[in-house]
Chain A
Amino acid sequence: MTVPSEAEIINRILSGNIDDFELLVEEHKVKVFSIVRKRVPPADAEEVAHKVFIAAFKALGSFSQNKPFGNWLSGIAVRTCCNYWRECGSSRKVLAAAPDNEQLEWLEKVCRSDSIEKFSTLARRQEAKELIGWCLNKLSPEDRALLEMIYFEDWPLKEAAAAMGWGMAKTKIRAMRAKAKMKLIISKLPGEWKK
């Protein structure tokens, strides 16, 4: 029995075979989860991943089948995470934990670290996650999404632009500005902690 191609599955869904959407979910859920889990708090990841697939299902008719479905779905996942932070911002929901001394100590250790092993161990600690969350919360949802895609995950600029639905020039300029903002936030970190 031959495995149907994604294009065939999509055509079948569009002609009314809704249950075939589960084949797409099965194929892409791990990728969607890996995008979502890195971008939103773990407690909300499942709900956001649901929203990603629901948005994809609703927009399936507009999917042009000459590009990979996975890339298109990744774009929806990034935009859904962006919307999540926009909603959090509008509802004034503060998700980052208040800064504490442990995180300041982590920061000092990172700055003083001289070996790769030590640095790598430090980067995997809980303090790093909390600190990233705190810094990213200071950015707009779009800046946050760009920073995560381009500088943290090394997405090609073209893919990041497609994910945001922007042109290349706008994406490049916004990404550079986002990075500059991040640098400024990091440079002020010790001072912020002392407040």
Chain B
Amino acid sequence: MNKQEIRKVEEAFKTCFQADSGELQPGPEWQRDLMINIRAIAMPVSRPVRSRQEVIIWRLAWTSLAASLILAAVFSFSQTGGDDSQSIGRWEDKIVAINDIIRE
């Protein structure tokens, strides 16, 4: 094939491509099915505020749980610390008493 023939075939392809319009109007069933699909897709998306609230609530719940656990741990440690200091005090008293006995 020479260049001129190739150009002719290209032109024929272009004319054919542009002429191929066919039935351009889709039927009402096509549109109805499309809207059914769109609504099905939109269902979870159509309540963004609610889903956002859910996320916030869950985050708050987890944060408060973590905070309460930390507070509980701190509180229990501080309690244990108080007990320790009391018991040390008691031991000191005993040691002093024993020392007094030894001295006597």
Q: Quick one: which of B5, B18, B31, B37 contacts A29, CB cutoff 8 A?
A: B31
Closest A-chain residue to B35, C-beta based?
A22
Query: Across the interface, do A129 and B20 meet the contact criterion of CB distance under 8 Å?
Result: yes
Binds B, one of A83-91, A164-172, A180-188: A180-188
Q: How far is the CB of A13 from chain B (nearest CB, A)?
A: 9
Main secondary structure of the interface of B (DSSP, over half): helix
Closest B-chain residue to A22, C-beta based?
B35
Q: How far is the CB of B68 from chain A (nearest CB, A)?
A: 37
Q: Determine if B19 is an interface residue (Cβ-Cβ < 8 Å).
A: yes
Query: Across the interface, do B9 and A37 meet the contact criterion of CB distance under 8 Å?
Result: no
Complex CA gap A189/B8 in Å reads: 13
Closest B-chain residue to A61, C-beta based?
B45
Q: Which residues of A are found within 8 Å of B26, using beta-carbon distances?
A: 29, 33, 46, 49
Please classify how large the interface on chain B is, using the bins under 10, 10 to 19, 20 to 34, 35 or more. 20 to 34
Q: Determine if A119 is an interface residue (Cβ-Cβ < 8 Å).
A: yes
Asked, given contacts A29-B31, A190-B1, whether A111 binds B8 with beta carbons under 8 Å apart, the answer is: yes
Main secondary structure of the interface of A (DSSP, over half): helix
How many residue pairs at the A-B interface have CB separations less than 8 Å? 106
Query: Across the interface, do B41 and A54 meet the contact criterion of CB distance under 8 Å?
Result: yes
Query: Across the interface, do B20 and A186 meet the contact criterion of CB distance under 8 Å?
Result: no
Q: Determine if B46 is an interface residue (Cβ-Cβ < 8 Å).
A: yes
Query: 16 A–B contact pairs at CB < 8 A?
Result: A25-B35, A29-B25, A33-B26, A37-B20, A46-B30, A57-B38, A110-B12, A111-B1, A111-B8, A123-B12, A124-B19, A182-B10, A183-B6, A186-B1, A187-B1, A187-B6
Q: Which residues of A contact B (CB under 8 A)?
A: 16, 18-19, 21-22, 25-26, 29-30, 33-34, 37-38, 42, 46, 49-50, 53-54, 57-58, 107, 110-111, 113, 119-120, 122-125, 128-129, 131-132, 135, 148, 151-153, 182-183, 186-187, 189-190
